[in-house]
Structure 1
Amino acid sequence: MPRPRPSTALDHIRVLDLTRVRAGPTCCRVLADFGADVIKIEAPPGVDPNEGMSGHRHGFDMQNLHRNKRSLTLNLKTEEGRAVFLKLVETADVVVENYRPDVKDRMGIGYAALKAVNPRIILASVSGFGQTGPYRTRAGFDQIAQGMGGLMAITGHAGEGPMRAGIAVADSAAGIYAATGILVALAEREKSGEGQWVQTSLLQAQIAMCDFQAAVYTVDGKVPPQNGNDHPHSTPMGALPTADGHINVGVGGEGQWKAFCRAIGREDLAAHPDYVDARQRFRNRKALMSLLGDLFRTQPADHWLDLLEAEGVPAGPIYTMDQVFADPQVVHLGMATPVQHHARGEVRLIAQPLVMSRTPPAVATALPEQGEHTDEVLAEAGFAADEIARLRQNRIV
């Protein structure tokens, strides 16, 4: 029975996935959800001293990161294992890895080695700090990149010290940038017939994600401060307390400011000299947000959201994760997509945040068991049954 594919968009592309933890798997998940044949290459049980560092195989994170893939076990620390890998490279389109930069060359599977057997191959490398430079061999983790990339210094309330973001911003961004680079390289290969080496790092991705605040420094020479929940330049734009929680409001211009004042029954504020225009509101932000906080605490969140919606003022609730997935718009968008797993039954995984009119992404298969498709993949690559049996006997696969 043919294996179900989530999409036809990339079903002509084969990816060898050497990644683990988050950044690299995020990249491969994008490709897999659009139908690429992603083969997750893992060490046989007991070979990798860091086995299990990505969490329990049937746990939520592994389920979410490694759906839509096939799994092959291969001992790349052996000469025969590397030979098998290079045989697979001959018919692959993409290899994705997130080793430290020196590791792949030491193993004999760097870009030069891959290109020698397949000039069309695209190698995507995701590292902590880049493939070259003084930090190239350092281990990189998301929070370290958040700190070095400037995010922690601008996150949190002023005077309370640096604060990490609540999600793995650098990891996830690096994975998405790597996937973007791969897709660009695949498109360019249609013209040149040649592959190339795509590189990104957690540090580069984190700096790029700082975008607005980073450009404040590079263009204007100003070091952006912490602003807590307030927008760095507009007021009132941030979180306000209510009788039963908090909401976000976003007042972006003079028309919205007047509409906001009407909505909350304080039209006098629109003409108040301290708040009459954006410059005055920003100058007197502390007093204005305190005044608004006192007012908004008198009624529950839904009361204010209904009033603001009626006047067309941007606003929204601040949800816990269970509330996120109960919201009717989130349900409509299908951001939690079900798939059947042999051990856990039906699980809901996070969908790709894209809508495509002809070739949408999907989740078709759950995380495979370790080495579940080893024989199948090797047979496709031309290995005979007795060769596969010998590889298994010698613990190469």
Structure 2
Amino acid sequence: MSNQLFEAIDALSKEKSIDKDILLEALEAALISAYKKNFKSATNVRVELDEEKGIMEIFSRKTVVEDPEDDQQEIALEDAKEINPNYEIDDVIEVKVAPKDFGRIAAQAAKQVVTQRVREAERGVIFDEYADREEDVMTGIIQRRDSRFVYVDLGKIEAKLPQSEQINHEEYLVHDRIKVYVTKVENTNKGPQIFISRSHPGLLKRLFEMEVPEIYDGHVEIKSVAREAGDRSKIAVYAENPEIDPVGSCVGQKGQRVQVIVDELNGEKIDIVEWSEDPVIYVTNALSPSKVLKVIVNEEDRATTVIVPDYQLSLAIGKRGQNARLAAKLTGWKIDIKSESEAIEEGILADTEFISETEEDLFD
């Protein structure tokens, strides 16, 4: 039985990629527990496993006495001296025990504990594998959906995409391949749990890192991302090397690079702007595609007043304030947008400071 057991453990270790020592330790613990349970022994028990010889032996600690009353815990002095003539009364010795039917009991215990330990080890392997993917993008296959979750198969584990992390109006069809952002990986009593998102700004950032070699290589840096998932996003990029165009790198030839990301996000509009440490330039860029006449900076309150041509006011603010809201989130500056005529009326802008362009001039 022992040889077969060792062979089974060896095969299991290779098949499941689990350290054999872990399985042997589990087997030892199971045999000790089974012995105590089935033979009502309260003594200390030690199991010795010799894989090379295929031997499994159990040793029980017994106290040397003159006349034993409990064979499980005591041994007669006469029998002890047969083992070693130097033993005396009250000595504690280890005696090899071979209870009847223990082979069968051991096999049952080994099966249970090894199965449990394999399950635990597999969970550990899966957790270690996916823990490294936190804050990363993974591709999965949609398995099913209900009113609360979309269930995505990520290979060795199924992840739940909660409604709060889904993109509004996005369809999640069974068997479709989908890219998701891993927000958190936890090892729970029920096994590893992976939390994923389609709406997280990190998804947009990772998609650009995957699609734009200059970002992956570190020549272009993503400084900030502001996203209203499924509708519109802004991303600020920067290149320390003046010969590299960070925005152009992200857009790609004929817009191919950014279009791949737009397609992955089902048509989400993406504004790519150049980052600057100068808040005037940065805020101006962030309000793209609108034209900005002037930016007044209040460093203390980290706030700006932005003046735009009258005909650009609605574009600068955006539908339901979206453009201004995303620009503020992207830059970290408060943005108060005023039209040119409003700024002149309030005395913020002198009427001779700018000569406004008309739309005809702009598109001439």
Asked whether the two chains share a fold, i.e. TM above 0.5, the reply is: no
By relative contact order (CA 8 Å, sep 6+), the higher-ranking structure is 1
Bigger fraction of residues in strand: 2
TM-score relative to the length of structure 2: 0.25
Structure whose alpha-carbon radius of gyration is higher: 2
TM-score of the pair, normalised by structure 1: 0.23
